[in-house]
Amino acid sequence: MPIVDVKGVEKVYQQGDIEVHALKDIYLSIAPGSFAAIAGPSGSGKTTLLNIIGGLDLPDHGEVVVDSRHFRKMNQSQLAELRLNRIGFVFQAYNLIPVLSAVENVEYVMLLQGVEKADRRKRAMAILDEVGLSEKYHNRPSELSGGQQQRVAVARAIVSNPAIVLADEPTANLDSKTGEALLQIMAEMNENRNVTFIFSTHDQMVMDYAHRLVLLRDGMIDDDQVK
Amino acid sequence: MELQLAWRNIWRNPRRTVIIMIAVIIGVWTMVALTSLMRGIVNDMLENGISTLTGDIKLYASGYHNDPSIEYRIDDPNSVISKIAKTLPVDSKYAARVRVNAIASNARHSIGLTLVGIDPDQEKGVSFIGNGVVDGRMISEDDNNAIVIGQALLEKFETRIGRKLILMSQNSQNEIVSKAFKIVGVFRAKLASTEKQFVFVNKHSAQKMLGIGNGISEISVVINDHGKFEQTSQGIAEILKDSDIEVHTWKDLLPMLTAYMEIFNGFIVLWYLVVFVAMAFGIVNTMLMAVFERMREFGLLKALGMKPMLILRSVLIESGIILIMGAIAGNLLAFGSVMMIAATGIDLSALSSGFEYVGMSSVIYPEIFLKDVFLANVVVLILGLAVSTYPAVKASRITPVEAMAHT
């Protein structure tokens, strides 16, 4: 049974008087434990598709099922609950909370989940160790490099034991060496924890790492390769 | 962690936080300090009113209130006092007086005033005259020809202690009677008009001059806890319901003062409203700026699964912390400034001649009432949080996709 099942999804944006068809009749199934990349040029609909899979945006037509949950039957509160417990996000711009330290940023998701303080701290530290930031627990984002910030974002995404992690252009702001190190970490997590990773990217390195590559063009799937 | 996060968010932009806090501090400070000044004025007017021979409660013979002549008097004051004594709260004091309109004259001047026959011992703690003599001495039980007059009257009459003053009035038979008194003391009152209005003689002396036996015009009662005056007056009225005696409170006797107090209360509410509206614009504007600046962050929190209600709560917590800090500082400032002024008061003697017409003293002593402090703080905190709800709702309603697109 796929962890993500997208059936006939369409999304239209209104830009002034013009309708922009961001996604056209998308069908996509992703198996649990995948390490998949959705690639394509700018404006091809990668981020829109990722947002729809993450429940951040809703399709105009079609059906989205993630972790056996039908989005159409869920309200905003239930979607938020699903995101909190089953979906992790990594964004291009890291999006850490600037006033919290690395360990506190990672803890914050668990706070929302209602995890006890002592357990929160223990788990946050363990995951930061895993991404190689054991020396940076108490540094704030402004005191971390881009690569370190993105590793904190990965740790935050993974710490709540989600079923899938959605990463929107995670390496776009990083140099190739740092980007590769980050991908390495995510690949290990995918292997060790069996967490599904779905990337939106136009970074060739991410495409090379991915086990499956879905190519989008003009809001449609142009190619779908399993390596 | 929620509080910790809120605290750190507050200090992300210290200048903005300080601006909101200053608005709150000034708001609370002016609310508390100005109200304490107004309360000082009103209380002073009330104390003046009560101590200027009114008391909390006053008993008259029926008819005296409408026609204050000696014809309407209480002939047996002792029996009335013994009847009401048991209903008076502990530490209450009373004084029985003869009070009649009279004309005072000396070789150069004459003036209409009020002749008051008093028992000097009874007046202590009941009216200003109990401790009001500043020059010469107080009249005593045996002083049949002694009189105490006010400083302002003394100056107006160009006289001095030891000189004579002739008083003329109507006796119980409606005949004109007059008697010469020797000035033995001079009293000071808060208001110069009081010093010109009243002269005091021994009660027996006044009774003899007016031919009223043991009769008196009024019994004035002062209660230690002024707040109990209505309850006590009802108790006295109940006891005296079958007698020919009217029971009045200061509220009946000083209707102008009652009206002023109501106007002041209305003014305080209006003042709170004006200050708060000015403050509210500052709070909403600055909180909106803070929220818009962090829209991406709110979007992230929603993406992570934070529910709108929690975002709303987090913004309100931040706002609440700023309001509480501002309120504390505002209260401290208000208490400090009031304490500084309270020792010496604010001297408005340059304007005092005008103030006297409404029963105000020339020096205002501000008084802080806890209920006013409570009200000012509740207004600031509750309404401050209420207006902060607008930016908080804005933050909670944004969708993650919109927020992430926000630059």
pLDDT digit string (tens) for B18-72? 988 998 999 899 989 989 988 888 888 888 888 888 899 999 999 888 888 888 9
Same domain, B284 and B167: no
**Number of structural domains in chain A:** 1
**CB of B226 closer than 8 Å to CB of B232:** no
**CB of B302 closer than 8 Å to CB of B396:** no
Structural domain boundaries enclosing B168: 57-222
Is residue A8 situated within a structural domain?
Answer: no
Same domain, B167 and B36: no
Same domain, B280 and B182: no
Is residue B251 situated within a structural domain?
Answer: no
Could you give the count of Cα atoms lying within 13 Å of A110 in the half-sphere of its Cβ?
23
pLDDT digit string (tens) for B272-328? 888 888 888 888 888 888 888 888 888 888 888 888 888 999 999 999 999 999 999
Q: Output the CA–CA distances (angstroms, integers) from residue A5 to A22, A62, A65, A69, A73, in the order listed.
A: 18, 11, 5, 10, 15
For A19, other C-beta atoms within 10 Å of its C-beta total 10
To the nearest whole Å, the CA of B29 is away from the closest chain A CA by 32
What amino acid occupies position B353? S
Nearest chain A residue to B308 by CA distance is: A77
**Number of structural domains in chain B:** 2
Is residue B182 situated within a structural domain?
Answer: yes
Is residue B236 situated within a structural domain?
Answer: no
Buried b (16+ CB within 10 A) or exposed e, B2-20: eeebbebbbeeeeebbebb
Is residue A182 situated within a structural domain?
Answer: yes
β-strand partners of A223? A215
Q: Can you tell me whether residue B109 is helix, strand or coil? A: coil
In this predicted complex, what is the ipTM? 0.86
Same domain, B188 and B307: no
Substitution target in A15, A58, A112 with the highest count of B β-carbons within 10 Å is A112
Is residue B232 situated within a structural domain?
Answer: no
**Confidence at residue B2, expressed as pLDDT on a 0 to 100 scale:** 79
Residues of B in contact with A107 (CB under 8 A): 1
Q: Rounded to an integer, what distance in angstroms lies between the CA atom of residue B290 and that of residue B390?
A: 12
Same domain, B63 and B181: yes
| Mean predicted confidence (pLDDT) in B359-372 | 82
Residue with the two structure tokens 């100056």? B155
| E strand segments, B20-163 | 57-61, 93-105, 110-118, 133-136, 146-150
Confidence band, pLDDT 50/70/90 cuts, at residue B99: very high
Substitution target in B12, B295, B304, B313 with the highest count of A β-carbons within 10 Å is B304
Is residue B119 situated within a structural domain?
Answer: yes
Interface residues of A toward B, Cβ cutoff 8 Å, are: 51, 54, 56-57, 76-77, 80-85, 87, 89, 91, 95, 97-100, 104, 107-109, 111-112, 117, 156
CATH number assigned to the domain comprising residue A175: 3.40.50.300
Same domain, B158 and B298: no
Burial of B188 (0-12, 13-18, 19+ CB in 10 A): middle
Which segments of chain A have a pLDDT < 50?
none
Is residue A219 situated within a structural domain?
Answer: yes
Residue B79 CB contacts under 8 Å (≥ 6 apart), including other chains = none
Same domain, B72 and B218: yes
Q: Can you tell me whether residue B76 is helix, strand or coil? A: coil
To the nearest whole Å, the CA of A162 is away from the closest chain B CA by 11
Residue B69 DSSP class: S
Do A107 and B1 count as a contact with CB atoms less than 8 A apart?
A: yes
Structural domain boundaries enclosing A118: 32-56+73-226
Task: Among B205, B222, B239, identify where a domain stops.
Answer: B222
Residue with the two structure tokens 């001079």? B186
Nearest chain B residue to A109 by CA distance is: B304
Substitution target in A108, A113, A120 with the highest count of B β-carbons within 10 Å is A108
Is residue A12 situated within a structural domain?
Answer: no
Q: Rounded to an integer, what distance in angstroms lies between the CA atom of residue A201 and that of residue A50?
A: 11
Burial of B285 (0-12, 13-18, 19+ CB in 10 A): middle
B2, B297, B302 ranked by CB distance to A97: nearest: B297
